[in-house]
A and B are shown apart, each in its own frame.
Chain A
Amino acid sequence: MQAKLRRVMCVEDDADIRMILEFSLGTVGGYEVCMCASGHEAVFAAQVFKPDLILLDVMMPGLTGPETLIALRKLPALAGVPSVFLTAKAMPDQLEELMQYGATGVIVKPFDPMRLPRDILIYWEHGRAPHAD
């Protein structure tokens, strides 16, 4: 089992959010980051990039975040990769619904770019050891 979170794939259609994600996770967090502007792009790029964790926006044109996650889960190499949704909808029932797609966690927008690298690390540690309590 890999001991360190290194490669993070972000799927986000908003160019400004992609920009701040790259700053947060790449510059601040020091992760290797792959940015995708759509779910379709992510399905292709993920097979080459082989992410350790996937961060997905929920509301996107084309494939939504949940639809993208379902498509990624069908790829054998990505079936067990921890995934985290990024959403500006923060109602408890909305968050619970997202978790039912098999995500490791949900991060609510707006997010703190200084804190995000730590938050995804926690989700990654939790998500790669689903049977550990």
Chain B
Amino acid sequence: MPSTIRVRATANGDTTEVQALIQHPMDSGFVKNAQGQIIPPHFIQQLTFEHNGKTVFLADWGPAVSKDPYVKFSFKGANKGDDLKISWADNKGATDTTTAKIQ
């Protein structure tokens, strides 16, 4: 199955800008379906970005993060061609991970 994670990591000198878009329903547990039943909460809880084995960014998310969540941040110390590893875990225990090259 293809990864749910899309990443764009661009190095500009010493600073790398990272944008990630993840395919995930991020159901809050407050919304009802067409039959009037609550759609149970289903959302990513933690999203981790690692470079050279070190965590460069950690997101703790709740269900108030939008569907198909997006985040952008920047960090120093990486070079073009380096690997950036991204992983997430949701409240149902599902996970996904991918590695992207910094452009």
* A and B: interacting chains: no
B residues near A, CB below 8 A? none
A residues near B, CB below 8 A? none
